[in-house]
A and B are shown apart, each in its own frame.
Chain A
Amino acid sequence: MTPTLRFTPTAWAKLLFLRDRGETEVGGFGISSPLDLLLIDDVRLIRQSCTSVTVAFDDQSVADFFDRQVDHGFRPEQFGRVWIHTHPGDSASPSYKDEETFARCFGESDWALMFILAQGGETYARLRFNIGPRASLEIPVDVDYRRPFSAADQLAWDREYVECVHSLYLTSQNPLHDPLQVEQPHLFEVETEDDWQDWLNFADPEPFATMREELLYAPT
């Protein structure tokens, strides 16, 4: 029998809400049911810097998340194995960067799962076992309506989004524009080719490498 990644209706609604809340990708961890690790009870965001095509978790926030979950009595396999993020457009296929992160950050645990939800609704779930003979398989995704589930809490979801997601937008005036007006010392005025080069140098390498590459090769 092929395993299936299942979301509770509440967790699925929250993920859709978070995907559609802003203009950028978002990411987080799935919280698994204690008796069924492929049933996602909740989706939790990590503090992150996002653009329309990238998402980068804050390392300290990941560690804080692990500490908090342990304090709440969860086991690491319940909260640290299902990596979730969204894609713009219609494709949920993992990028090279996604694959690199999945291998590097989740390749030492006994098992891990990468889940991607595209803006257009396509999903991608790959379960990988890193022990024994090792195996990796794409698995179906479903919403499980058979169990009791709690009501939506959009206010709390919105609060979590605002607390965690730091959106970086490109504008004609500022390549990196912070709509929340959080202190943002990285803004550049771009008027000349040299200005662009200054910004591209700044953007290399983390966490804007992908965006930098797109800008370098974007048609003018």
Chain B
Amino acid sequence: MRILFINNDGGGFADYVEVDPGTTVKQFFDQQVRTGKAINYLIRVNRQPVATDQVLQDGDRISVTPTKIEGAS
């Protein structure tokens, strides 16, 4: 099945990827974001925060974006 994946890591990505049916959000993250730690990201499916054990569906849109972007002087 096909998922739209948005990710800023590596070269950056905003395109469709093929995943196996039954793939969970955590499995997808582990496959696609190999070097990053999950705690440093907000993972949303169809623009909503999700549990890591949620099973992805065909046509879902998943985004992985950095969290706690903070500056100080």
Nearest chain A CB to B16 CB, angstrom units: 12
Whether B72 and A95, one on each chain, are in contact in the complex, defined by CB atoms closer than 8 angstroms, is yes
Q: Which bucket holds chain B's interface residue count?
A: 20 to 34
Q: Does A157 contact B (CB under 8 A)?
A: no
Assembled-state Cα–Cα distance A110/B70 (Å): 21
Contact residues, A85-132 vs B (CB, 8 A): 85, 87-89, 91, 95-98, 101, 104-106, 108-110, 116
Whether A59 and B68, one on each chain, are in contact in the complex, defined by CB atoms closer than 8 angstroms, is yes
Whether A109 and B12, one on each chain, are in contact in the complex, defined by CB atoms closer than 8 angstroms, is yes
Q: Which bucket holds chain A's interface residue count?
A: 35 or more
Among B12, B40, B68, B73, contact of A75 (Cβ-Cβ < 8 Å): B12
Whether B8 and A67, one on each chain, are in contact in the complex, defined by CB atoms closer than 8 angstroms, is no
Contact residues, A16-75 vs B (CB, 8 A): 25, 27, 46, 53-57, 59-60, 62-64, 66-67, 70, 75
Determine chain A's interface SS by DSSP, over half rule: mixed
Contacts of A101 in B (CB 8 A): 68-71
Contacts of B26 in A (CB 8 A): none
Q: Does B42 contact A (CB under 8 A)?
A: yes
Known: A59-B42, A62-B42. A109 touches B69 (CB 8 A): no
Assembled-state Cα–Cα distance A98/B63 (Å): 24
Known: A88-B73, A95-B71, A98-B72. A104 touches B8 (CB 8 A): no
The 5 closest A-B pairs by CB, nearest first: A76-B12, A105-B66, A97-B72, A87-B73, A85-B71
